[in-house]
Chains A and B, each alone.
Chain A
Amino acid sequence: MTYKSAAAYVVGGLVALGMLASASAPMAEGYENMVGDKKSGYHYSTPATQSIQDDDFNNPSFLWVDQGEQLWSKVDGKAGKSCATCHDAAAKSMKGVGATYPKIDAKSGKLINIEQRINSCRKNNMQAKPWKWESNQLLGMTAFVKLQSRGMPVNVSIDGAAKPYYEKGKNFYNQRRGMLDMSCSGCHVENAGKMVRADLLSNGFSNGFPTYRLKWQKLGSLHRRFRGCNKNIRAQPYKAGSDEYTALELFVTHRSNGLKVESPSVRR
Chain B
Amino acid sequence: MANKIKIRVRVPKTAKKGQLIEIKTLISHNMESGQRKNKKGGKHPRKIVNKFVCKYNGKEVFVSDWHPAISANPYLAFFIRAEESGKLEFSWTDDDGSVYTKTASIQVN
Contact = CB atoms under 8 A, between A and B. Distances in A.
B8 interface: yes
B57 interface: no
Interface residues of B, number: 27
Contact of A13 (B1, B10, B69): B69
A218 B71 contact: no
A13 to B, nearest CB: 3
Contact of B76 (A8, A14, A22, A23): A8
A9 B77 contact: yes
B26 A63 contact: yes
Q: Helix, strand, loop or mixed for chain A's interface?
A: loop
Interface in B53-102: 62, 64, 66-67, 69-80
Contacts of B79: 7-8, 20, 22-23
Interface residues of A, number: 28
Contacts of A173: none
B24 interface: yes
Interface stretch (A54-62, A163-171, A178-186): A54-62
Contacts of A63: 1, 6, 8, 26, 28, 73
Contact of B71 (A11, A67, A136): A11
Interface of B: 1, 6, 8, 10, 20, 22, 24, 26, 28, 30-31, 62, 64, 66-67, 69-80
Contacts of B70: 10, 12-15
B20 A214 contact: no
Given A10-B71, A23-B79, A57-B10, 8 more contacts: A10-B70, A13-B70, A15-B66, A15-B70, A17-B64, A22-B79, A60-B75, A217-B71
A25 interface: yes
Contacts of A57: 8, 10, 24, 26
A10 B76 contact: yes
A25 B6 CA distance: 24
A7 B78 contact: yes
Interface string A9-34: 11111110100101101000000000
Contacts of A66: 6, 8
15 contacts: A10-B70, A10-B75, A11-B74, A12-B75, A13-B66, A14-B70, A15-B67, A15-B70, A17-B76, A58-B24, A60-B28, A62-B26, A63-B6, A64-B1, A66-B8
